A and B are shown apart, each in its own frame.
Chain A
């Protein structure tokens, strides 16, 4: 138990579906992150939120839409995905960023395994 909970753990969706991934942290952190991990590829940073404000968007296609209503919750809304979007989506949190920099470690959830048919 890392203090970061992701739901659902597994999701299968068609290309025309709309679904959402949810991440919740109970660590009192103020920064939250989405990463994508595809087979045989490095972890790809997608988005960073610091005190609910988006500070990084790593050229992510608009079919992925993040939402951070408060420092404890982070969503990734999915719409019109492609089969190549199938991957493990990892959420992480950390202490708030100062000047865009982080000084401590990331705490990861267990991930949401997404399959797009």
Chain B
């Protein structure tokens, strides 16, 4: 397939724990982006990491990029119930395609 693929498909954790989700892509990228989608709502952009960056932070979010493995990971630290959502990666090089996402459930 053309799109980035997220792994795992579903993740259930307790509030306060860290959540890690991964994304693999097929070809070279210009940059890679992570989005969050609350159930039945639009996607919200979280963070962009460029192909020449290896790690990026934004609040409780940490994104890493390994271009040699064509993979990225999103870490959410000290998770909250409000983090319950689906998370998607998107690599611009493949023109706007998304994977199936990781469905994160944070239990209070």
Contacts and interface: CB of A to CB of B under 8 A. Distances in A.
A-B interaction: yes
A45 B3 CA distance: 11
A78 interface: no
B30 A56 contact: no
B97 to A, nearest CB: 6
A102 B96 contact: yes
Interface stretch (B55-63, B74-82, B87-95): B87-95
B42 A2 contact: yes
Nearest to A6: B42
Interface residues of A, number: 26
Interface in B8-60: 30-31, 33, 35, 40-45, 48
B98 A101 contact: no
Contacts of B40: 88, 111, 113
Nearest to B93: A101
Contacts of B41: 110-111
Nearest to B98: A43
A108 B43 contact: yes
Contacts of B30: 101, 103
B92 A107 contact: no
A4 B42 contact: yes
Interface of A: 2, 4, 6, 33, 41-43, 45, 48, 56, 88, 90, 92, 100-111, 113
